[in-house]
Amino acid sequence: MRKFNPKAKAFSRINLSYLAHCSGLAYKQKAELSGELKLLGFDLARDNYYFADAETNTEAFVVGDNNKIIVAFRGTEGKIADWATDAKLLKEAWTDKNPLGQVHNGFNGALSGVWDAVLSEILALRTNNQSIWFTGHSLGAALATLAAATLCLQHAGVKINGVYTFGQPRLGDYEFAKNYNAALKNITFRCVNNNDVVTRVPPQIFGYSHVGRLMYFDTEGKLHADNSLSWWAKFWDRVAGRYDDIFDLTPDGVGDHSMKEYQQLSDHTLSPQ
């Protein structure tokens, strides 16, 4: 069984690996997902862990035990970045009742399709003051981040312990990023694999900004925290990634977005360096 530290207050490599595994599981169909979650030790007797909205094609699972609650959102299975680079770049107020910036209306609409049910399950499971963790890959990463922000706003007394995302696109404007970071930056770890193209959309030129703390995997798979790499170091590392991949049939920026690769990189951080 995979290890997890439910009491971690800072970045945890053990939790990184565990939550990367959960983000990968979010892509599985319910029947297969059920077996995998049982292997992690979760009791699914209530059969109320899987959530889907046909209209927005949003899927998520929420599971818990006596120590932790995990909320994982599925990413996109369509063409890479289409949903983040097409005409759906319009932003809308977040939220109507308490404006704290603007977010991508596609992401906001996708979360709204399952949020009430997801929130209800989180609150139902939280009978032992368990720590709460959000995770997701790609589109799921944006939804996990927005869900954490929404829970923080709606239930200020419910503490969120960690948000670990993989290949996350930008999801809101600078005001949203400022308000998000004021509350959740120190527990939000945004993992980026070298040339992952999705992490650079929607473009900043359209007023979008990233949130949380950057955790950057370089071209050799080594993990660098936040600002330990300069902008130029990351730039030349990405150039190296492009060069190493020049004869690969899979473009580096797309290959680097693979959840499977994020899982392998996250598991590798547990090996002696």
For the chain, domain boundaries: 13-268
The 8-class DSSP code of residue 172 comes to B
Helix (H, G, I), strand (E, B) or coil at 73: strand
CB 185 within 8 A of CB 212: yes
Burial of 55 (0-12, 13-18, 19+ CB in 10 A): exposed
Written as one string, the DSSP assignment of 223-238 is EEEGGGS-HHHHHHHH
Q: Kindly state the helix (H) or strand (E) to which residue 53 belongs, with its residue range.
A: strand 50-53
Q: What is the pLDDT of residue 41?
A: 96
- End-to-end C-alpha distance for the chain, whole angstroms: 23
Long-range contacts of 225-234 (CB under 8 A, 24+ apart): 225/11
Q: What is the pLDDT of residue 236?
A: 43
Q: What is the pLDDT of residue 34?
A: 96
Please state, in angstroms and as integers, the Cα–Cα distance from residue 245 to each residue in 154, 207, 215, 235, following that order: 45, 31, 22, 16
Q: What is the pLDDT of residue 249?
A: 38
The pLDDT tens digits along the chain (273 residues) read: 789 999 999 999 999 999 999 999 999 999 999 999 999 999 999 899 999 998 888 999 999 999 999 999 999 755 554 555 444 567 899 998 889 999 998 899 999 999 999 999 999 999 999 999 999 999 999 999 999 999 999 888 899 999 999 999 999 999 999 999 999 999 999 999 988 888 888 888 889 999 999 999 988 899 988 766 665 455 544 444 443 443 343 444 467 889 999 999 999 999 875
Q: What is the pLDDT of residue 273?
A: 57
Q: What is the pLDDT of residue 77?
A: 59
CATH architecture assigned to 13-268 = 3-Layer(aba) Sandwich (3.40)
Q: Is the dihedral of CA 176, 262, 28, 77 positive or negative?
A: positive
Question: Could you tell me the pTM of the whole model?
Answer: 0.90
Q: What is the pLDDT of residue 205?
A: 87
Nearest Cα neighbor of 61 from 75, 47, 76, 71 is 71
- Residue 51 in tokens: 């959530």
Query: Any residues with CB less than 8 A from the CB of 202 and at least 6 apart, and which?
Result: 84, 85, 89, 104, 169, 170, 208
What is the residue whose two structure tokens read 């949003």? 58
